[in-house]
């Protein structure tokens, strides 16, 4: 299939483009490079044996996107969005304009171009602070704890409404838990600009000596060691989940919702100690106040993805840390 991939130069997008190429599909990447590098496309080519077609564009630019879409596509996978929880609390309008406004602009182009299979990069943050664990897809949404989460909730609702108005549309809502790691080749991985907002890239920079210590946000949560618990998923497993959703639901009218995670939670300190094993050194840290918008614990029930998509994770926390450290050493 010829697949339009928005945000395809980013962390998750780039790994999914590799998986699409390896599966024999023809991905076309659109990215404004606000949080990615053009060199990612070259490195994708080194891994997969060929580079995807690339257009530097913002999805809010309807004219440019219309011209790209006119070349014809079988499906769209939509990653393009800002994603830092803390930044969204500080700059909510930036997030609503980019994430929600960008999605509306993209959908207008797709409807006009009769591109009806859509795979959406959603998030477990749509569940807010869950009242039970593990989290299942039928649990209520609409109770986000931060503006980033609200943008994902709004985008999911927009997609349901678009599908309702266009019954031939196939929409897959993929709710990620916590993507980490890097491609085992060491050629692509997460490239945060400035101080990382997410745990593992922050730990990686401390291990590499680029940051003095890890700040652990909260040591008094009701968890086994007092630190936040999350369902960390290897980014390559996550990428393969997108290909599984695309292959399963292309042309399959309706809204299809899946959790993508491992089904197991790990605490901040468990991740820290696993990373110490990967890099062979101690990693300094200090426990500080809780961070606005965070919840104590969150992990997925992944039964639906396993049974319907035939997909499940095959890489564990040790793999995530080892691949992250390999990537970190390459980028130094």
Mark whether 202 is an active-site residue: no
Number of H helices, E strands in the chain: 12, 14
**Could you tell me which of 154, 22, 140 has the C-alpha nearest to residue 88?**
154
Active-site option among 148, 176, 221, 275: 148
Residue 164 burial (CB count, 10 A)? 11
Q: What residues pair up with 53 in beta bridges, in sequence order? A: 28
CA distance 28 to 75: 10
For 206-237, the DSSP string reads HHTTSSS-EEEE-S-SSSSSSS-EE-EEEHHH
Q: How far apart are the first and last CA of the chain?
A: 37
DSSP H or E run through 56:
strand 53-56
Residue 218 burial (CB count, 10 A)? 17
DSSP H or E run through 123:
strand 117-123
Q: What residues pair up with 77 in beta bridges, in sequence order? A: 5, 119
Active site amino acids: 148
């Amino acid at each position: 299939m010829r697949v339009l991939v928005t945000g395809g130069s980013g962390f998750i997008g780039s790994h999914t483009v590799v998986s699409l190429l390896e599966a024999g599909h023809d991905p076309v990447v659109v990215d404004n490079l606000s949080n990615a590098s053009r060199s990612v496309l070259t490195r994708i080519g080194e891994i997969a044996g060929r580079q995807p077609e690339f257009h530097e564009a913002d999805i809010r630019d309807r004219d440019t996107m219309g011209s790209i879409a006119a070349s014809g596509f079988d499906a769209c996978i939509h990653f393009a969005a800002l994603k830092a929880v803390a930044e969204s609390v500080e700059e909510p309008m930036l997030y609503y304009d980019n994430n929600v406004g960008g999605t509306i602009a993209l959908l207008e182009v797709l409807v006009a171009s009769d591109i009806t299979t859509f795979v959406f990069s959603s998030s477990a943050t749509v569940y807010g602070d869950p009242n039970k664990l593990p989290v299942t897809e039928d649990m209520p949404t609409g109770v986000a704890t931060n503006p980033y989460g609200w943008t994902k909730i709004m985008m999911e609702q927009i997609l349901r409404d678009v599908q309702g108005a266009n019954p031939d549309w196939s929409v897959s809502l993929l709710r990620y838990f916590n993507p980490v790691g890097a491609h085992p080749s060491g050629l692509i991985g997460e490239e945060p600009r400035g101080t990382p907002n997410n745990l593992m890239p922050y730990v990686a920079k401390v291990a590499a000596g680029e940051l003095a210590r890890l700040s652990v946000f909260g040591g008094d949560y009701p968890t086994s060691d007092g630190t936040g618990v999350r369902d960390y998923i290897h980014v390559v497993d996550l990428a393969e989940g997108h290909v599984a959703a695309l292959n399963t639901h292309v042309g399959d009218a309706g809204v299809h919702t899946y959790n993508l995670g491992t089904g197991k939670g790990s605490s901040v300190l468990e991740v820290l100690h696993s990373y110490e094993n990967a890099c062979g050194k101690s990693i300094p840290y200090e426990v500080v106040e809780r961070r606005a918008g965070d919840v104590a614990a969150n992990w997925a029930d992944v039964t639906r993805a396993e049974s319907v998509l035939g997909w499940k994770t095959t890489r564990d926390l040790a793999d995530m840390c080892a691949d992250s450290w390999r990537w970190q050493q390459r980028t130094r």
